[in-house]
Chains A and B, each alone.
Chain A
Amino acid sequence: MSRVLASSAPARAALNGASLNASITRIVRPAMVKASKITNQKRDHSACCGPHLRSYATHSDLPSSEQNLSFVLKKKGEVTFEDRPIPKLTSPYDVLVNVRWTGICGSDVHYWQHGAIADFVVRAPMVLGHESSGTVTEVGEKVTSVKVGDRVAMEPGIPCRRCPRCKEGKYNLCVDMRFAATPPIDGTLAKYYVLPEDFAYKLPENMSFEEGALMEPLSVGVHINKQAGTKQGQTVVVFGAGPVGLLCATVAKAYGANKIVVVDINEERLAFAKKYAATHTIVSKKQSAAETAAQIIKECDIVEGADVVMDATGAEPCIQAGIHVLRAGGTYVQGGMGKPDIMFPIGAAGAKELNIKGSFRYDAHDYETAIGLVTSGRVSVKELVTKKVKFTDAEEAFEDVAASRGIKILIEGVPDRRDSATA
C-alpha cells in the first residue's frame, strides 16, 4: 500500500475518505519520494498487542518538504504521522523549540490505548508526547532569558497565571491548565513546539538533550518528595520501581533519606533499583496489607514504622500497605494513578494522625531543582534510558512502554535542517 504525504488540505481530505485500515496515513508528494528508500513493512501485532493496534511502516528517509512532522493520536488505538503547520509564537514572551528527544509516560500510553484518562477525553486528533528537550530556534520580541541556539528542557504545562491557584503558587492546579498531550492540547512529539520562555529551562553544558528529556519525570519525582517533605535521616518506602518510583527513590537519597525501601512485583526492576538508589528492596507478595507492612518493617530493620511513603503505582494493595507501614504522625504521598476508588484504611490513617497528600505533576521550582540535581551529580538519570528510537519508529516505543519493556524509552526528534551541526 503506498503512502503519500500531502501538503495540501484537499489531498489530506481525499485520503481521509479512503479506507485506511491497513496502512499508516503518511502521505508524500510523489515527486519528492525516493522510491528505493521507502520500505513498506507491516507488522502484525495482534498476537502481542491486541486487535485494536494499527500496523505501521518504518521509514528511513524523511522527505524535506514537510514543515512540522507530528506524531498524532487520531483516536483511541490509532496513531499516524501528519504534517502540521509550524506553530506560531502566541506572545512576545514565547519561544519556538526544535524538539530533540521525547520520553514516553504511562499517561501517553493510556490515552493511546483507552482514548481517555478520567474526564480528559480524546475528541479530535491530538499530537502526543510531553517529556521533551530541544533547541530554541526562534524567540519572541520580549524574550530575555534564552536565545536562539540554546538547549532547553521543556516544561509542558502552561497555566493561566491569573486564577487563585496560580497566584498562590500552585500553578499545577490551575483551572485552565494547558498541558501538552492532555486533550485537547497538542503535545511535543512534533518537529517544533511553542512555549513561554519561563517554561524553557537552559540545559547546563554537562547535560545532554537525552538527560533534558528526563527532566519532566524527574520533576514529578522532585514534586512528590516536596509534598512528602523528605528530610535527612528519614526512612522512606517507595511503592513502584517504574521510572517515577525510581526517580522518587533517587531524589529521596539526594535529600538525605537514610533508608530507601523500594517495593515492586518485578524482580528485574528491583535489581535495578538496588543498584540505582534503594538501600533495600522488597518483592510484593499476595498477602494482606498489614502483613506486607510487617514484612517491610522486619526485613528492613525499621523501628515502629516508616517516616514517609510515596506511592508510584496507583495499585490498591500498595496504597493500603503504604498506610500501614507508616509510623504515627508519618506522611503518605499519592503519586501513582490507578483505580479512582479503592478500599482505604481510614481508621489507621485517623488514629495514627497521618499526613496524606496528593501529588499532581509539578509546580514552582521543581524543574530548576531537577536540573540542579543532575548537573551537580547528586542525581543521575542517564542509566534510566534503556532504548532510543527514531521519530518514525515512535509507535514501537509506545508498544515497549505498554509492555513495560525497559525503563525510559526516548524518541528522537525531527532535525531542523537549518541547524547544520545537527543534520
Chain B
Amino acid sequence: MAINLSFILEKAGSVKYEDRPVPKLESPYDVLVNVRFTGICGSDVHYWQHGSIGSFVLKAPMVLGHESSGVITAVGDKVSTVKVGDRVAMEPGIPCRRCVRCKEGKYNLCVDMRFAATPPIDGTLAKYYSLPEDFCYKLPESVSLEEGAVMEPLAVGVHITRQADVKPGQSVVVFGAGPVGLLCCAVAKAYGADKIVAVDINEERLKFAKQYAATHTVVSQRESATDSAARITKDADLGLGADVAIDASGAEPCIQAGIQVLRTGGTYVQGGMGKSDITFPIGAMGAKELNVKGSFRYNSGDYATAVALVTSGRVSVKELITGKFKFKDAESAFNDTKAAKGIKILIEGVEDEA
C-alpha cells in the first residue's frame, strides 16, 4: 500500500502514479497536510502538454497540482496558528523571506520563489504536502474543503482586482470568462463595481457569467480593437470609456481592445498569459495616460481576503465547481480541463484503502 501516492508528470504528455516518501517538516514552523481537493489550472495543463512555460522547463519528473485544500495531520514545534485536524486552504508558493522583493511586501516576485508544480518544485497532487503555517488559511465550518481548493484561483482574482484598484461605482471590463475571468468579475462586484462587462468568444461561458457576476456580456467578434471597444462601450453604456479593463485571456485582440475601451486615465491589468510579444497600442496608452499593470499570482493579504470574501458570502465559488474526479482518474480531469469542459474541475485527495 502506498504511503504517499503522487500524480506525476514524467515529461511532456506523459503522466504516471508513483509512491513517494511522506514529506518531512523542514522547519519548526511547518505543518503537514493531508490533501483533500485539488483544482486544475491552465498552467498545469500547459506543463502537461508542453513541458515548459517560458523559462521554466521540466527537467525531471515532478508532482503536479497547486490549487489545494486539506486537513492538518502534523505540526512543527513552533506552530501556533493552526493545529492537527484543522481544515485549511493552502497557498502553494513559498518565498525566501530575505530578498528585496520579499522585504518590500511583494513576495510574489521573490527571486527564489518555490512554487508548487513550477519545475523543479513538486506540487500538491499527492496524499501529503508540507508547508509553513503562515501559508495555511483556516477554513470556517461554513466553507467546504471543495470551496477551499478554489481559494487559489480566487486569490489570483483578488490580486488582479487589487492591482486594478477597483472602487465602488466604477465600470470594469473583463476579457475572458474562464475561471480567472469569472472570479475577477465576482471580486470586482464585491468591491462595488457598478458595471461589470464580461467578454468572451464562448457564449455558454458568457451566459454563466451573466448569472454569476457580470452585469453585461459581449460576444467577441472578428473586428478591429477600436471597433470592439466602441461596441462594448455602446452595448454597456460606458460613456467616455471603462474605468478598468482586466485581461484574463492573454489573447492579443483582447489586450488591444482592453487598451482602447478605457477612458483617459483608466487602469489596465494584464492577468492572462499568452504570446510573450504582441502588437500593442502604445500610442493610445501614452496619450490617454493609462495605468497598465502586470499581475502575477498573489501576495500579502490576497489569500486571507479570498477566504474572507467567501466566508462572508460576498463572493460565492460553489457554482464554479462543475466536476469532481477521484484521485485515480486524475488524467481524465486533466483531459476535461484541456477541452474547456465546465469551469473548475476538482480532483479528490488520495483515498485511504480502508
Contact = CB atoms under 8 A, between A and B. Distances in A.
A348 interface: yes
B289 to A, nearest CB: 4
A350 B296 contact: yes
Interface string A53-94: 000000000000000000000000000000000000000000
Contacts of A314: 286
A173 B54 contact: no
A343 interface: yes
Contacts of B290: 357-358
Contact of B286 (A335, A345, A354): A335
A344 B279 contact: yes
Given A350-B294, A353-B294, A344 B286 contact: no
Contacts, number: 129
A344 B293 CA distance: 14
Contacts of B255: 346
Interface in A329-360: 329, 334-360
B111 interface: yes
Interface stretch (B76-84, B268-276, B327-335): B268-276
A343 B277 contact: yes
A254 to B, nearest CB: 23
A341 B281 contact: yes
A350 B270 contact: yes
Interface stretch (B32-40, B101-109, B142-150, B205-213): B101-109
A342 B282 contact: yes
Contacts of A356: 285, 291-294
B161 interface: no
A357 B267 CA distance: 9
A354 B294 contact: yes
A360 B292 CA distance: 15
Interface in A349-376: 349-360
A328 interface: yes
A165 B243 CA distance: 12
Contact of B280 (A172, A336, A344, A359): A344
A44 interface: no
A346 B277 contact: yes
Nearest to A227: B289
Nearest to A173: B264
Interface in A111-164: 118
A341 B54 CA distance: 24
A165 B290 CA distance: 13
Q: How large is the interface on A (under 10, 10 to 19, 20 to 34, 35 or more residues)?
A: 35 or more
B2 interface: no
B277 A347 contact: yes
Nearest to B264: A173
A328 B296 CA distance: 10
A314 B291 CA distance: 17
A32 interface: no
B219 interface: no
Given A351-B54, A353-B294, A355-B291, A173 B283 contact: no
B283 A347 contact: no
A403 interface: no
A338 to B, nearest CB: 8
A338 B288 CA distance: 14
A345 B296 CA distance: 15
Interface in B65-111: 101, 104, 106, 108-109, 111
Contacts of B293: 353-356
A351 B265 contact: no
B354 interface: no
B115 to A, nearest CB: 12
Contacts of A360: 286-289
A287 to B, nearest CB: 16
Task: Find the residue from B106, B290, B293 having the highest chain A CB count within 10 A.
Answer: B293
Given A353-B109, A356-B292, A337 B273 contact: no
A407 to B, nearest CB: 23
Interface in B276-316: 276-296
A328 B109 CA distance: 6
A225 to B, nearest CB: 14
A352 B109 contact: yes
B3 interface: no
A319 interface: yes
A265 interface: no
B201 interface: no
A83 B13 CA distance: 78
28 contacts: A172-B289, A173-B265, A173-B289, A328-B101, A334-B282, A334-B286, A340-B283, A340-B284, A341-B280, A341-B282, A343-B278, A344-B278, A346-B255, A346-B275, A346-B277, A346-B278, A347-B275, A349-B292, A350-B273, A351-B54, A352-B294, A352-B296, A353-B108, A354-B293, A357-B289, A357-B291, A358-B289, A359-B286
User: Which 6 pairs of residues, A with B, have the shortest CB-CB distance?
Assistant: A340-B283, A347-B276, A344-B280, A328-B109, A356-B292, A173-B264
Interface of B: 54, 101, 104, 106, 108-109, 111, 163, 240, 255, 264-265, 270-296
Given A170-B264, A349-B270, A352-B294, 6 more contacts: A336-B286, A347-B275, A352-B109, A353-B109, A353-B163, A358-B290
